[in-house]
Structures are given as C-alpha cells and as structure tokens.
C-alpha cells in the first residue's frame, strides 16, 4: 500500500477535536512555549518498552525535520520525568504534566501516542504509535513522516538549507 493510500486511525477517545486547541498546563512551561511552528507531541512513559524503542526514530525525525518541533508529554510524575530524561537520550524536551493530563484531560487510553498541532496549538491529527509502525509494530521514520505528510506541507519534513530559517521554510 502506498503512503498516500494509507488510512490512519485517529485516537477516538481523544477529548479534543481537530481544529481545537489542546488544553494547556502549567508544569514545565506548558505547551504554549512551543507555539510558532508545527508541533509533534509524543505521549510516552519512561517505563513503556515501545515508548523507549521509538526514541531513536524520533531523534532521527527531529534531526531531519527542523520545521516541526517535537515535545514529549510524560505520563510519569514530574520528579521521575526530570530524573529519567537525560538517561533516556531524548533529543527533544519533556513536559511532565503526568498521567492525569494525558489520560483524564486528553482522553488517551494508551501510550505511545502522537498528536500533531498547528503553529497555534490546535489539533491537526492524532494517532497511536502502531499506526505509524512497520509489520512488527515498531515505529519507523518512514511511517512517522508519511503520517505527518497527510497534514503538513512537504517543506516541513526536510532539513533547512544553509541560510534558510523557519520563516523561509514556512513561506514555501
């Protein structure tokens, strides 16, 4: 099946509809500090094996797609998130509002999951990680890019060229 033909199932229990802003929170500065460009939100837990296995894929995505910001929302408590973040090798920031935010305020029923927000913090799309995975169930860089390509222009999925900033890439 070609990427263009693939259907990605959204998170049906999500309490935010496409076009609506995600509820913000105070811990870690909240999501508002990431506005200004598209944002890929990774909902994960430090003790979730599939979440840990996708870290290298997300690190690679972040290196290549500089027009898309990445942030992890941890379901772990604040202290545990702060302690484990450096050990996990994440190349993107973690905001630790905890499981109450992910499970109660957002309606997420499992992790890992992805949310894609626009530059104003409004939901573009949501999916569980298995929707961007290969046949073994592991998240792949190609799968993640293909899903995002359904909702963002292709220019957001490439690395900026020398002399190009975020504003130049957004104009394309």
The DSSP line for 70-123 is: EEEEESS-HHHHHHHHHHHT-SS-EE---HIIIIIIS---SSSEEEEE-TTSBE
pLDDT of residue 168: 32
Mean pLDDT computed over 124-146: 93
Domain ranges of the chain: 36-171
Asked whether 10 and 125 are in contact (CB, 8 A), the reply is yes
Mean pLDDT of the chain: 83
Residue 54 has pLDDT above 60, yes or no: yes
Q: What percent of the chain has pLDDT over 70?
A: 86
pLDDT tens per residue across span 63-110: 887 689 999 998 988 777 777 777 888 888 888 787 889 999 999 999
User: In the CATH hierarchy, which fold is given to the domain comprising 36-171?
Assistant: Glutaredoxin (3.40.30)
Q: Give residue 164's pLDDT.
A: 37
Does the structure show a pLDDT above 80 at 112?
yes
What pLDDT was estimated at residue 92? 85
Phi, psi of 82 (to 5 degrees): -65, -40
Structure-model confidence comparison of residues 8 and 7, the more confident one:
8
Residue 158 confidence (pLDDT): 61
SS3 call for 141: helix
What CA–CA distances, in Å, run from 152 to 46, 87, 119, 121? 29, 32, 11, 14
Please list, in sequence order, all residues whose beta carbon lies within 8 angstroms of the beta carbon of residue 11, skipping any fewer than 6 positions away. 107, 108, 109, 113, 126, 127, 128
Rounded distance, CA 58 to CA 40, Å?
10
Q: Take residue 107 and report the two structure tokens written for it.
A: 């309606």
Proportion of the chain above pLDDT 90, given as a percent: 49
Residue 170 scores a pLDDT above 50: no
């Amino acid at each position: 099946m070609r990427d263009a033909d693939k259907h990605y199932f959204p998170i049906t229990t999500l309490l935010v509809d496409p076009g609506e802003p995600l509820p913000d929170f105070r811990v870690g500065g909240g999501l508002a500090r990431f506005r200004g460009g598209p944002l890929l939100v990774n909902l994960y837990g430090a003790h979730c094996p599939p979440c840990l296995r996708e870290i290298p894929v997300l690190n690679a995505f972040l290196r290549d797609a500089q027009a898309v910001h990445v942030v992890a929302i941890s379901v772990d408590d604040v202290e545990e998130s702060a302690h484990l973040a450096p050990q996990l090798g994440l190349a993107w920031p973690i905001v630790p509002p905890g499981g109450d935010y992910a499970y109660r305020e957002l309606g997420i029923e499992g992790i890992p999951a992805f949310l894609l927000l626009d530059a104003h913090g409004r939901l573009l799309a949501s999916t569980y990680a298995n929707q961007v995975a290969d046949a073994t169930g592991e998240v792949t860089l190609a799968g993640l890019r293909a899903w995002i390509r359904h909702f963002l222009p292709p220019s957001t999925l490439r690395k900026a060229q020398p002399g190009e900033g975020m504003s130049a890439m957004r104009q394309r």
